[in-house]
Amino acid sequence: MSATTTTPQQELGVGRTTGTRRTLEKGPSGWLAVPALAFFMLFAILPLLGVLFLSFTRWDGLGEIKLDGLSSWNTVLADPVTGNALLVTAKIMFFSFIVQAPISLLLGVFTAASQKYRAALAVLYFVPLLLSSAAVAIAFKALLDPNFGLGPGLGLPFLAQDWLGNSDLVLFVVVFVIAWQFVPFHTLIYQGGVRQIPASLYEAAQIDGAGRVQQFFNITLPQLKYTMITSSTLMVVGSLAYFDLIFVLTAGGPGYSTRLLPLHMYLTGFKANDMGAASALGVILVVIGLALALFLQRLGGKNRNASQLEGA
């Protein structure tokens, strides 16, 4: 929406309520928001508190829930697998950000231009988003097979590796597959961001004789600041949710090399039947997610108004 009809004052009021309307007028009843709020409280906020509560209990998932003090936390914090899972999560988060952010940004700028073929490419770029993570994982498992996949197909021996069985390589394979699946979405966000940049800026720059590269660094990049924050927030917080893809692709293996935090939580809770420890891992997951989201929002600076905050 390049063409917002809101005035700056309204923009600032957004998130609270619109302040520009006549105060005499009665707004709609807050009751309209109650069904949505009730659903969200019941199935998202309440479980969020529940996960904290369960982290102080012992529960195998079937029997009685027993209060158990800090023992789950002691288990989780003493377990070297937890530390490893945090490390794997951090690595995947870092590398997938480093890979996805520049590609999405460049593709977003690329597809925002008017050429017909670029619009056609943009349509095809979106296709990975239609596939479920399970489908993507299954497809790549077949494609990366050293005997019947891409390597022998193209006759390129270096592509015919045991990509998913080699603990040195598998992390990067996972990062690649994640990028394959999620770059399209972020490309779309950047495309929208680029299209909101006022044309007059480019016209002025052209008159001043700025070249394409100069325009990119002096206009496009600074103007995309908030888009970058939105996209980065979704990317980083989203990387705490790469559960299904990795579950089907590697199941955390080989060994523990791709067992990231959400997967570790699932396996602890539903495979090892230790819901207390899994809940403690869940709490860690929430804290990390919130901290990262807040940190990234802070990067935007104090002048950011609520409307941009909502982009997160």
Interface of this chain with other proteins, residues 267 to 286, rule: CB under 8 A: 269-270, 275, 278-279, 282-283, 285-286
Out of 9, 74, 132, 214, point to the residue binding other proteins (CB under 8 A): 132
Candidates 60, 84, 91, 118; binder of other proteins (CB under 8 A) is: 118
Binding mask 78-97 for other proteins (x = CB under 8 A): --------------------
How many Å apart are CA 132 and CA 143, to the nearest integer?
16
Positions in 35-74 near other proteins (CB under 8 A): 35-37, 39-48, 50-51, 53-54, 61, 65
**Considering only 12-20, 68-76, 78-86, 93-101, which stretch makes contact with other proteins by CB under 8 A?**
12-20
Q: Does 157 interact with other proteins (rule: CB under 8 A)? A: no
Task: Say if residues 88 and 227 touch (Cβ distance below 8 Å).
Answer: no
**Part in contact with other proteins (CB under 8 A); list of ranges 75-83, 92-100, 161-169, 233-241:** 233-241
- With binding defined as CB under 8 A, does residue 103 bind other proteins? yes
Q: Considering only 26-34, 74-82, 162-170, 252-260, which stretch makes contact with other proteins by CB under 8 A? A: 26-34
**Residue 7 contacts by C-beta under 8 Å, 6 or more apart in sequence?**
20
Single out the residue of 85, 88, 122, 267 in contact with other proteins (rule: CB under 8 A). 122
Residues 291-310 that bind other proteins (CB under 8 A): 293-294, 307, 309-310
Number of Cβ within a 10 Å radius of residue 143: 15
- Interacting residues with other proteins between 167 and 206 (CB under 8 A): 180, 183-185, 188-193, 195-196, 198-200, 202-203, 206
Tokens of 147: 């005997």
Interatomic CA distance for residues 26 and 21, integer angstroms: 10
Among 227, 232, 250, 258, the residue binding other proteins under the rule CB under 8 A is 227
Asked whether the CA dihedral 292, 295, 90, 231 is positive or negative, the reply is positive
